[in-house]
Chains A and B, each alone.
Chain A
Amino acid sequence: MGRITATELSWSVKGHRLLDNIDMAADDGKVVGLLGPNGSGKTTLVRLLAGLRRPDTGTVRYDDTSLHDLSRRLLARRLAVVEQDVYAHNHVSVRQVVELGRTPFRGRFDALTGHDERVVDAALERVDIADKQHQSWHTLSGGEKQRAQLARALAQEPREILLDEPTNHLDIRHQLELLDLLGSLDVTCVVALHDLNLAARYCDHVVILDHGQVVAAGSPETVLTPDLIVAVYGVSVLVDREPTTGASGSPT
């Protein structure tokens, strides 16, 4: 109920191989971090997993169903995607943004049902932004926008959520709050991150990408070694395991 499997995924643009033979899996209810330097293919992999780009080769499966056997609409009823881009061109309210999450469940001319309203309410509460629901989207701070986007994703009642660098532009407190929230959800999360500390602290499993290839995968403790970080990021670090945060999961 919520397992994502990618097998031998490859993708090229104009002869440049951006992803090369990627194998990865996210188990039910786990938080899986996609790590790697800029340009390593994190965003591309998220798009392929979401079915937004078609891989040249390889397959993505949700539980036992191949992505291409699912219609866009059916996929959107179990998979939500939170992107980096949070610019809205029109003056929608926060609640209207979250209501977009009900799109895959609504007919073309259907009004929101009582159930839809309750799901939206619960999603707004879950990310703690219900008090701002009637404000214009443009009045929110960067952190609030990310939380509202997550509420929009939750309104899809997903089994899996893919997030592309959701902590970009957030201050440290909001980064921690957002990842805490992800960890507390009963949803499989695949999250592209560039912050190794955050990944070490919150992810159950990490996948390290470099030049479009998986160079390591496993639990943060086993994977995030000084040697690997030097090899991938080109910087030497001191890995210091704090007793309280070395283990994955949320501190609260």
Chain B
Amino acid sequence: MSTAGRARNPITDRDADRARPRRAPTVALLLVAVVGLLVSVVTASLFGSADVGPVDVVSTILRHVGLGGIAPTPPLPRLLDALIWESRFPRVLLAAVVGAALAVSGAVLQAITRNPLADPYLLGVSSGASTGAVAVLLLGIGGGISLSTGAFVGGLVSFGVLLVLLGGGRVAGPSRVVLTGVLVSQFFAAVTSVILMVSGDANSTRGFTYWLLGTLAGARWEGVTGTVVVILIGVLAIQFFAPALDAFTFGWDSAAALGINVTAARIWLMVLTSLITAAAVAASGAIGFIGLLIPHAVRILANPMHRSLLPLSAIAGAVFLIWVDTFARSAFTPHELPAGVITALLGAPAFALVLKRLES
């Protein structure tokens, strides 16, 4: 009598061959995605009032990162150089990392809550981060901690409240998760409004309201660098938990029985997800639905296991937000739309589709 591991026969060997080609596309897709991201960064930097070519953009970027020696064209006039390097490029870069952060955050939240409708915006994590940021900025809570730290604490608190309300490891139905998210989100939005009304003057209130809708218009190097570093570290660290996220497929006990240290994985994932969501919210306000749209699109196109889902979602989210923001700032010039308005316009129908798929 043989157990599963030791049995071998020609049929199973053939099955293994049949299974393998299915997995190859992950590497190919990753390569395509990285190329797509680089092309998007350069192309999106072309949009705007001044007329520059893609080669000029590449040269400018290379020159500023210390690779001027291999730049294919001579330096641009100072004003044009500043336009690309000081204004457009940081904005494109910020869009990329914020898009990556929100997409990865959505994928993680979906695995932790075991719910395909999870998204940092819909579940109130973004809302909590906004409250934290506003509280630090307008109330001076925390004695001089930065806006980003406030957003991080706010995000962590709202995430904790969400998990407590969902009641530990039990399976909460999709509607329960979403309704709890609405609850958390509305509560923190109300707190944010109170703070704004009580402490803000008319001008700052208007500025904040625009920021809360989700916009990348504020991108400047001094803020962008920190955001890029935090999000890159967070997204890479989350990659370490891909096996745990896969093992969550049938719940926390099942993951533990597969050898996962569930408590540690959950705490780390909660902290890391709050961190990247907060970094994204602090830099760009609450942009919704990316965490819902991107992981679902990736799951349809590629292997849904997290070893491939996480990196592909990160890159796809980056490319997606780069183009949403490019559209937002250039489609209706001289007017600019908040990027969050466009993601909501695209995301709400996608939410309906996922809901329908869930019910079938």
Binding site for B on A (CB under 8 A): 47, 50-52, 71-77, 79-81, 83, 85-92, 95-97, 99-101, 103-104, 106, 108-109, 111, 114, 117-119, 121-126, 130, 133-134, 149, 151, 154-157, 184-187
Contacts and interface: CB of A to CB of B under 8 A. Distances in A.
Contacts of A122: 4-8, 12
B253 interface: yes
Nearest to A131: B15
Contacts of A79: 257
Given A81-B254, A121-B16, A157-B3, 12 more contacts: A72-B256, A89-B110, A89-B115, A92-B304, A96-B303, A100-B246, A100-B258, A108-B243, A121-B19, A130-B12, A156-B258, A187-B3
Contacts of A81: 253-254, 257
Interface in B222-270: 240, 242-243, 246-247, 249-251, 253-254, 256-261
Nearest to B4: A154
Given A83-B251, A87-B250, A122-B12, A52 B7 contact: no
B51 interface: no
Contacts of A154: 3-5
B164 interface: no
B249 A92 contact: yes
B242 A108 contact: yes
Contacts of B114: 87, 89
Nearest to B27: A111
A92 B305 contact: yes
Q: Pick from A75, A97, A122 the residue with the most CB of B within 10 Å.
A: A122
A73 B7 contact: no
Interface string B9-51: 1011101100110110000000000000000000000000000
B249 A88 contact: yes
Q: How many of chain B's residues touch chain A, expressed as a range?
A: 35 or more
Of all A-B residue pairs in the complex, the 10 with the closest CB atoms, nearest first, are A76-B259, A104-B259, A121-B12, A154-B4, A157-B5, A73-B259, A81-B257, A89-B114, A103-B258, A123-B4
Contacts of A91: 299, 304
13 contacts: A72-B261, A83-B253, A91-B299, A92-B304, A92-B305, A100-B246, A100-B250, A114-B16, A121-B13, A121-B15, A121-B16, A122-B5, A157-B3
B307 interface: yes
B203 interface: no
B86 to A, nearest CB: 38
Contacts of A151: 4
A118 B116 contact: no
Given A109-B307, A124-B15, A130-B15, A90 B110 contact: yes
A101 B250 CA distance: 12
